[in-house]
């Protein structure tokens, strides 16, 4: 069997296993896959996306997979091209996203020989891949199809209950282009469907059992699949439990608003939780992590896969996700427990409605104001992708939670790389939702190649709001931004860049609008979006630390009256 025949069988089996989108970066060694993908795209069997940058392509596939829940392959050539998939593979591994790397390789006998573009690709992703295998020309058609189905099953977690990235490395020899002499005979295909049928629903990890409640139990929901977060929110609502939820948890609409500010105020000392039920990966807020690590707070984890999250190394018990459907035991909190948290959130919201949006004449907007205004202005049903640095934190701290939005963020490893591409992928996967993204300037610049779409490529309607403080604003709010560290801050943490975002957008053919006030931002967000457009908001990095401290202090003072 030739490499071209192998590629045709492989792509056919992927489609039979449910793949509907694929991402390709150009190369020579992966040419057989490129031809097979082009043919499948032209036949309407899947939709192909081509990107010249493998890292951008991988994050595009990640966004498509995250938003759709389907396995999405990303295809590249050999050598360093494969290494460029690694960041997205790691993100997928830690956020349970069904990404499938299809990497072209040289013939097996050339490995270790010093031949061009040869390295140990089969083991390149290490433990990031849930499963990996190498296929080579000469294999029987049924063996190829079986391996494809196995890779898709591992990616989806069909039997493991643990979705994540998989890897098929393909040792391909010349000829790499169709010759017209390829066999037209048996390709090992069943009459219909995949070679090996798989469950259509993700496997569970055990029967549920009752969760013990205490009089001061809270639910903490970190980043995770929206369906799991929604079940956590239903559990909290049914039993009178406050829920502290990150924007991308799937439970944000039911969350106690501005919870990290409540957790840092003296108000908390009179209403300190004695138990936290944790679902997802709470990584945004230091106050939340401090609660989870506190010796006087019992923590109970809810696992949606065999790999439970316990970053504080303090869990007292772990329950399967099914436990959220079981009536709890113990002593449920009194009605006033939830009422107290809601009252505090209401007070904080009243303070922020004025203080966060204040803008003196001649001043630039603040990042809290941008986050609060954007979260309020986007239409119901919108898709909102948040950058992993200041953007997602500003939304958590200062925006009013909304249950009518789908909020996504790459919080598996919380890197800023690939954010534009992930947002584009999610928007392409969910075309019926108005699509928006919020990110900082460094996040935007880190993936500016994501704006490069060829004239024949599917293009979403996506508005990207960029908070541009000319550098790493988040560091100004951390220890590195303290006054005593000022001498070393600007160059190695502030990292000013001076990039003209309007010119950068023009180079890629992306629309650009600069706004300077709340009214201008709201007007820009209300405009219909066709294609990709960037809304730039210039902010002042020098003032960020003081702005955050002032808002936190104002909320704390107001809560003292409760």
pLDDT for residue 203 is more than 70: no
- pLDDT beyond 70 at 204: no
The Cα–Cα gap between 286 and 260 comes to 8
Tell me which H or E stretch contains 220: strand 217-221
Same domain, 437 and 499: yes
φ, ψ for residue 293, nearest 5 deg: -95, -5
Which pairing describes strands 298-303 and 166-171: parallel, antiparallel, or unpaired? unpaired
CA distance 487 to 482: 10
Q: Is residue 236 domain-shared with residue 167, that is, in the same domain?
A: no
166, 277: one domain = no
Closest by CA to 245, choosing from 253, 237, 378, is 253
| 205 pLDDT tier (thresholds 50, 70, 90) | low
Same domain, 153 and 220: no
Say what the alpha-carbon torsion angle 174, 178, 184, 189 is, to the nearest 10 degrees. 80
Confidence grade of residue 129 (pLDDT, cut at 50, 70, 90): very high
Mean pLDDT of the region 39-48: 97
Domain assignment of residue 388, yes or no: yes
Q: Which two tokens stand for residue 59?
A: 């994050």
| Position 234 confidence tier, pLDDT thresholds 50, 70, 90 | very high
Instruction: Give residue 184's pLDDT.
Output: 62
Specify if 207 maps to a domain: no
Residue scoring higher pLDDT (188 or 89): 89
Quick one: tokens of 45?
């069997």
**Same domain flag for 339 and 360:** no
Query: What is the structure's pLDDT at 305?
Result: 83
Q: Any idea what the Cα angle at residue 293 is, between residues 290 and 295, rounded to 5°?
A: 115
259 and 236 within one domain: yes
> Do 380 and 338 lie in a common domain?
no
pLDDT at residue 174 greater than cutoff 60: yes
The owner of tokens 């904080």 is 348
Q: Are residues 374 and 500 in the same domain?
A: yes
Residues 243 and 135 in one domain: no
Mean pLDDT lowest among 102-116, 318-332, 505-519 = 102-116
Confidence category of residue 157, pLDDT binned at 50, 70, 90:
very high
How high is the pLDDT of residue 399? Answer: 97
Q: Is 391 inside any structural domain?
A: yes
Per DSSP, which regions of 304-352 are E strands? 315-320, 329-330
CB 428 within 8 A of CB 440: no
SS3 per residue for 450-495: HHCCCCCCCCCCEEEEEEECCCCHHHHCCHHHCHHHHHHHHHHHHC
CATH of the domain at 230: 3.40.50.1220
What would the pLDDT profile of 267-300 be if each residue is shown by its tens digit? 999 999 999 999 999 999 999 999 999 999 999 9
Mean pLDDT for 175-200 is: 81
| Domain final residue, candidates 316, 344, 372 | 344
- Structure tokens of 87? 């960041």
For residue 364, give the DSSP letter.
P
For 126, how many CA atoms within 13 A lie in the half-sphere containing its CB? Answer: 4
Q: Are residues 73 and 96 in the same domain?
A: yes
338/335 Cα distance (integer angstroms): 6
Number of structural domains, the chain?
3
Two tokens, residue 203: 């496997």
pLDDT tens by residue, 521-530: 999 999 999 9
188 within some domain: no
Q: Which of 308, 323, 344 is the last residue of a domain?
A: 344
**pLDDT the model gives residue 486:** 85
How are strands ordered across the β-sheet holding 383-386? 406-409, 383-386, 435-440, 462-468, 532-538, 511-515
Residues 6+ apart with CB under 8 A from 211: 277, 300, 319, 323, 324, 326, 328, 329, 330
Confidence at residue 481, expressed as pLDDT on a 0 to 100 scale? 86
Is there a cis peptide before residue 175, judged by omega within 30 degrees of 0? Answer: yes
Confidence category of residue 199, pLDDT binned at 50, 70, 90: confident
Write down the residue that tokens 């040289």 correspond to: 106
Helix (H, G, I), strand (E, B) or coil at 536: strand
- Pairwise pLDDT comparison (561 vs 7), residue with the higher score: 7
User: Which helix (DSSP H) or strand (DSSP E) does residue 146 occupy?
Assistant: helix 141-156
Interatomic CA distance for residues 170 and 1, integer angstroms: 13
3-class state of residue 311 by DSSP: coil
Confidence check: pLDDT of 562 > 90: no
Name 271's Cβ contacts closer than 8 Å, sequence gap at least 6. Answer: 216, 337, 340, 341, 344
- Residue 527 CB partners (closer than 8 Å, separation 6+): none
pLDDT for the residue numbered 183? 66
Residue 98 near residue 64 (C-beta atoms within 8 A): no
* 462 close to 433: Cβ distance less than 8 angstroms: no
- Whether the CB-CB separation of 95 and 142 falls below 8 Å is answered with no
In a domain, 378, yes or no: yes
Cα–Cα distance for residue pair 256/246, rounded to 1 Å: 10
306 belongs to a structural domain: yes
**Model pLDDT, residue 105:** 95
For the record, the structure tokens of 297 come out as 């707070």
DSSP character at residue 448 = G
Domain of 456: which CATH number? 3.40.50.970
Q: What is the residue-averaged pLDDT of the chain?
A: 94
Give the H or E element holding residue 514: strand 511-515
Same domain, 140 and 100: yes
Handedness of CA 412, 128, 137, 146 (dihedral sign): negative
Q: Quick check: 398 and 257 in contact, CB under 8 A? A: no
Residues in the chain: 562
Q: Which of 108-122, 128-142, 200-214, 542-556 has the lowest mean pLDDT?
A: 200-214
Within a domain: 203: no
Q: In this model, does residue 185 exceed pLDDT 60?
A: no
pLDDT > 90 in the chain, percent? 82
Q: Give 406's DSSP letter.
A: E
Higher pLDDT, 481 or 335: 335
- Cα dihedral angle (465, 470, 472, 473), rounded to 10 degrees? -70
- pLDDT above 70 covers a percentage of the chain that reads 98
* 48 touches 76 (CB < 8 A): no
* Structure confidence at residue 444 (pLDDT): 98
**What distance in Å separates the CA atoms of residue 103 and residue 490, rounded to the nearest whole number?**
41
Q: Are 174 and 31 in contact (CB under 8 A)?
A: no
Burial of 45 (0-12, 13-18, 19+ CB in 10 A): middle
Which of 344, 368, 402 is the C-terminal boundary of a domain?
A: 344
For 485, phi then psi, to 5°, come to: -100, 10
d(Cα 485, Cα 477) in Å, to the nearest integer? Answer: 12
Is 69:40 a contact under the CB 8 Å cutoff?
Answer: no
Q: What local confidence, expressed as pLDDT, does residue 533 receive? A: 98
Which residues form the domain of 420?
Answer: 356-559
142 shares a domain with 250: no
């Amino acid at each position: 069997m030739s490499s071209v025949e192998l590629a045709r069988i492989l792509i056919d089996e992927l489609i039979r296993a449910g793949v509907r989108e694929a991402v390709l970066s150009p190369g020579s060694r992966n040419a057989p896959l490129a031809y097979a993908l082009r043919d499948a795209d032209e036949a309407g069997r899947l939709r192909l996306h081509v990107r010249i940058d493998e890292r951008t392509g991988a994050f595009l596939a990640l966004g498509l997979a995250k938003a759709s829940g389907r396995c999405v392959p990303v295809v590249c050539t050999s050598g360093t091209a494969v290494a460029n998939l690694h960041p997205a593979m790691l993100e997928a591994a830690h956020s349970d996203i069904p990404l499938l790397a299809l990497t072209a390789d040289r013939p097996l006998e050339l490995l270790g020989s010093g031949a061009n573009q040869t390295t140990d690709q089969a083991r390149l992703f290490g433990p990031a891949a849930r499963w990996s295998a190498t296929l080579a020309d000469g294999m029987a058609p049924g063996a190829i199809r079986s391996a494809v189905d196995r890779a898709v099953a591992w990616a989806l977690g069909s039997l493991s209950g643990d979705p994540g990235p998989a890897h098929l490395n393909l040792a391909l020899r010349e000829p790499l282009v169709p010759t017209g002499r390829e066999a037209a005979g048996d390709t090992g295909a069943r009459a219909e469907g995949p070679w090996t049928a798989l469950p259509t629903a993700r496997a569970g990890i055990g029967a549920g059992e009752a969760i013990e409640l205490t009089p001061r139990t809270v639910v903490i929901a970190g980043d995770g699949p929206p369906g799991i977060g929604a079940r956590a929110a239903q559990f909290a609502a049914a039993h009178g439990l406050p829920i502290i939820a990150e924007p991308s948890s799937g439970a944000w609409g039911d969350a106690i608003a501005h919870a990290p500010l409540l957790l840092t105020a003296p108000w908390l000392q009179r209403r300190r939780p004695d138990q936290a039920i944790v679902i997802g990966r709470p990584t945004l807020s230091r106050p939340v992590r401090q609660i989870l690590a506190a010796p006087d707070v019992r923590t109970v984890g809810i696992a949606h896969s065999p790999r439970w999250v316990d970053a504080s190394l303090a869990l007292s018990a772990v329950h399967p996700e099914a436990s959220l459907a079981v009536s709890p035991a113990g002593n449920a909190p009194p009605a006033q427990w939830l009422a107290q948290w809601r009252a505090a959130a209401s007070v904080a919201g009243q303070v922020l409605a004025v203080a966060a949006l204040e803008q003196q004449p001649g001043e630039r907007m603040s990042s809290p104001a941008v986050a609060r205004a954007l979260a309020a202005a986007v239409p119901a049903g919108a898709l909102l992708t948040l950058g992993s640095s200041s953007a997602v934190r500003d939304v958590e701290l200062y925006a009013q939670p909304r249950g009518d939005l789908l909020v996504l963020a790459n919080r598996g490893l919380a890197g800023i790389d690939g954010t534009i591409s992930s947002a584009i992928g999610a928007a392409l996967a969910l075309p019926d939702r108005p699509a928006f993204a919020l990110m900082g300037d460094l996040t935007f610049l880190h993936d500016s190649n994501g704006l490069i779409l060829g004239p024949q490529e599917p293009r979403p309607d996506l508005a990207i709001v960029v908070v541009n403080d000319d550098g790493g604003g988040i560091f100004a709010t951390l220890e590195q931004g303290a006054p005593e560290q000022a001498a070393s801050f600007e160059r190695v943490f502030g990292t000013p860049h001076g990039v003209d975002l309007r010119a950068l957008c023009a180079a890629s053919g992306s629309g650009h609008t600069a706004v300077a006030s709340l009214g201008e931002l709201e007007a820009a967000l209300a405009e219909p979006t066709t294609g990709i457009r960037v809304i730039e908001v210039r902010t002042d990095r020098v003032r960020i630390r003081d702005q955050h401290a002032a808002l936190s202090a104002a909320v704390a003072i107001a809560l003292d009256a409760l």
